[in-house]
Structure 1
Amino acid sequence: MNVIIGGSGFIGTRLSVLLSLSKKPFQIIDKSPSDFFPEKVLSADIRLPLSISFSMEPSALINLAAEHRDDIRPLSLYDEVNVDGARNVCDLAREKGINKIIFTSSVAVYGFAPLGANESAVIAPFNDYGRTKWEAEKIYKDWQAEDPVRRTLVIIRPTVVFGEGNRGNVFNLLRQIASGKFLMVGSGLNRKSMAYVENVAAFLEYSLEFKPGVHIFNYIDKPDFTMNALVAHVNKLLNRSADVKFRLPSSIGLLIGSCFDLIARITDKKYPISAIRVKKFCANSVYESAVDSTGFIPPVPLIEAIEKTVRFEFMEDHKAEKVFYSE
């Protein structure tokens, strides 16, 4: 049986669907209920020791639980969930004799990485999210090193994950384009690596077959679009002109973001605009991956994934369906 920690969330729900379709037994551990698999959920908080009784003997722990937004307060939550949570997952594995852990880390461990950064790129996180993901990776590696002949550790570092029902950064971008009021900050020549949720979930399922050892993969769906090309394609899907109507120099965008940061500190409120979000929007974030070497083939091409998401969110009526909030 496979245990999905954080399985009530966006990626966890897609993975649960795949495991259900392939008749692979699974259990969810989450502090939140699952709208899709309520009967599979064992309620627990990863920040606390995981004293769990399973109906079947677990064969793998898949940890998807994380604090990942840019505006988390208090900042200690990053360490409590991402780092202390990793220790608790490893303790659970030791207690139950589980020899396989799959951990979703993030390309945030590389920080503002050079173009084409692969799995051997320099680790240089610029925020608490990336730092705590890296700290968690080291904890899992120590666990695997305790019994390297029998234990399997898979670390998957996705780039930004998007898909139907997600309310993260990609959705916010698509919504702005769909509104007809999209404002391009910077030249739009910067490229972005993205990952479609169904493909990420499929690779998680695929990695259940990996043998003992440490396996580290970035996860990216290719090709990488420039912001200009992505906006043009979405506009075409919506039967609009492909041209970007409004542009703003990146320096002015950063100034506006900094003003919102100041207002947020004064008012103790969260705003959708911040300096770090503007900086991330204008930056290149292009990664390479060794996933191809495993023989895995993503089930959904990236261009089709974008089209499916745009149709679902802005051309069809799915207002009554569950949505997931993330970065």
Structure 2
Amino acid sequence: MKITIIGGSGFIGTRLMNLLKDESKYTLHNIDLRQSHFFPEVTQIGDVRKQEDMDTMLAGADAVVLLAAQHRDDVRPLSAYYETNVGGMECTLRAMEKNGVKRLIFFSSVSVYGLNKNNPNETAAPDPFNDYGKSKWQAEQVLFEWMKEHADWNVTVIRPTVIFGERNRGNVYNLLRQISSGRFLMVGNGKNLKSMAYVGNVVAFVKFLLENKTSSGCEVFNYIDKPDYNMNDLVTLVEQSLNKHIPSTHFPYWLGMAGGYCFDAIAWLMRRKLTVSSVRVKKFCATTQFDSTKAMNSGFLPPYTMEEGLRRTLEFEFVHPREDDIEFVTE
């Protein structure tokens, strides 16, 4: 099976290729705007927004994993979300049809549900609150509309929650780093639940789908590793993993948001991106809990527990000396 990964030079794609590389039944092909740090020999520079690139580069593929996306919460102009996330879907589908490829795994996001929802499953109504979520939902709609005329295709949509793991430089890493530093400021009471997913489990789920989902049609799966941790739980786990006391000071939500708006103003004046913003404070304090019953009832068994994933990440990032400085910036 020749698997073409679009956007595979990043965090998830690198781990997926690392998982599949020793399987003799797979041939890997990566298409990305950037060269892969670890898999340059199978990487071809291409742009998911350019139809001619996709038409040429999807030749010979048996399955496509579409990872390419604008995903940070500070992308400007906002139209970039739609050009890549929606336009990239349209180019990919047309190229797949041209090359006779009928199998697709698309990475969407739980952001299509919005914030502070009551543990939504795959049937919950979409209510995205930002342009990233809106563009992912629009990409899904393009795909669902396409499937009306392509019922013989084998399509899976994965809506993962925030994904963390070794080498990732996203919100979970920033949180773990702040906690481990001992300079952690807790906004709110710390009881808000956070659904998360360890990258080792996410890519294992993709492998499971490639090997076990053989029927035509379109299925949607949330992907979350359970149990959900709240912020206080995370502080405790970091303390145990690093064997250090982590002092934490709680600040009321209104004060945290006021500080976030101040950082927004500073960032605007300086024309620079800062690590603190009102959007990130809002996301930090929100309950982001999602249902993953469907994925966990599919026959898939995650190779790591949530605690194992968090401990592996903490040990890699903050305990063992690094042999290189390769990192992947996400949200």
Aligned residue number for residue 273 of structure 1: 276
Q: Secondary structure at the match of 2:169?
A: coil
Separation of aligned partners in 1, 2:252 and 2:109: 29
Matched, 1:93 2:82: no
Matched, 1:13 2:17: no
Distance of aligned partners of 1:157 and 1:55 in 2 relative to their CA distance in 1, 3 Å threshold: closer
Q: Report how many aligned residue pairs link the two structures.
A: 325
Separation of aligned partners in 2, 1:11 and 1:246: 34
Give, as a single letter, the amino acid of the residue that structure 2 aligns with 1:225. Answer: Y
Question: Mind listing any 5+ residue stretches in structure 1 that lack a counterpart?
Answer: none
C-alpha displacement of 1:57: 2.2
CA contact (8 A) 1:104 1:158 kept: yes
Aligned residue number for residue 217 of structure 2: 213
Aligned residue number for residue 166 of structure 1: 168
TM-score normalised by the chain length of structure 1: 0.96
C-alpha displacement of 1:266: 2.5
Q: Secondary structure at the match of 2:15?
A: helix
Could you say what the CA RMSD is over the residues aligned between the two structures, in angstroms?
1.4
C-alpha displacement of 1:207: 1.4
Distance of aligned partners of 1:116 and 1:72 in 2 relative to their CA distance in 1, 3 Å threshold: same
Separation of aligned partners in 2, 1:113 and 1:62: 29
TM-score normalised by the chain length of structure 2: 0.95
Which whole-Å deviations, capped at 9, do the CAs of 1:131-169 have from their partners, x for residues lacking one? 000000111122222120x20110000000000000000
Give, as a single letter, the amino acid of the residue that structure 1 aligns with 2:266. Answer: I
Q: Secondary structure at the match of 1:102?
A: strand
Separation of aligned partners in 2, 1:217 and 1:54: 28
Which whole-Å deviations, capped at 9, do the CAs of 1:6-25 have from their partners, x for residues lacking one? 01110000111111122211
Which whole-Å deviations, capped at 9, do the CAs of 1:226-274 have from their partners, x for residues lacking one? 10011111112111236x4312111100000011112222222111111
The one of 196, 221, 225 aligned to 2:229: 225
CA contact (8 A) 2:31 2:57 kept: no
After TM superposition, the structure 1 = structure 2 runs for residues 82-231 of structure 1, keeping only pairs within 5 Å, are: 82-148=85-151, 150-208=152-210, 209-210=212-213, 211-231=215-235
Matched, 1:241 2:267: no
Question: Mind listing any 5+ residue stretches in structure 2 that lack a counterpart?
Answer: none
Give, as a single letter, the amino acid of the residue that structure 2 aligns with 1:301. Answer: T
The one of 69, 75, 78 aligned to 2:78: 75
CA contact (8 A) 1:141 1:153 kept: no
Which whole-Å deviations, capped at 9, do the CAs of 1:25-57 have from their partners, x for residues lacking one? 110010100111101011101121134545972
With 256-265 and 49-58 compared, the bigger mean Cα shift is at: 49-58
Separation of aligned partners in 2, 1:326 and 1:154: 23
CA contact (8 A) 2:50 2:91 kept: yes
Separation of aligned partners in 2, 1:241 and 1:35: 36
Give, as a single letter, the amino acid of the residue that structure 2 aligns with 1:298. Answer: P
Separation of aligned partners in 2, 1:92 and 1:189: 46
Which whole-Å deviations, capped at 9, do the CAs of 1:75-99 have from their partners, x for residues lacking one? 1110111010000110110110101
The one of 46, 49, 52 aligned to 1:47: 49
With 48-57 and 110-119 compared, the bigger mean Cα shift is at: 48-57
CA contact (8 A) 2:170 2:330 kept: yes
Q: Secondary structure at the match of 1:146?
A: coil
Aligned residue number for residue 31 of structure 1: 33
Separation of aligned partners in 2, 1:284 and 1:221: 15
With 55-64 and 85-94 compared, the bigger mean Cα shift is at: 55-64
Give, as a single letter, the amino acid of the residue that structure 1 aligns with 2:222. Answer: N
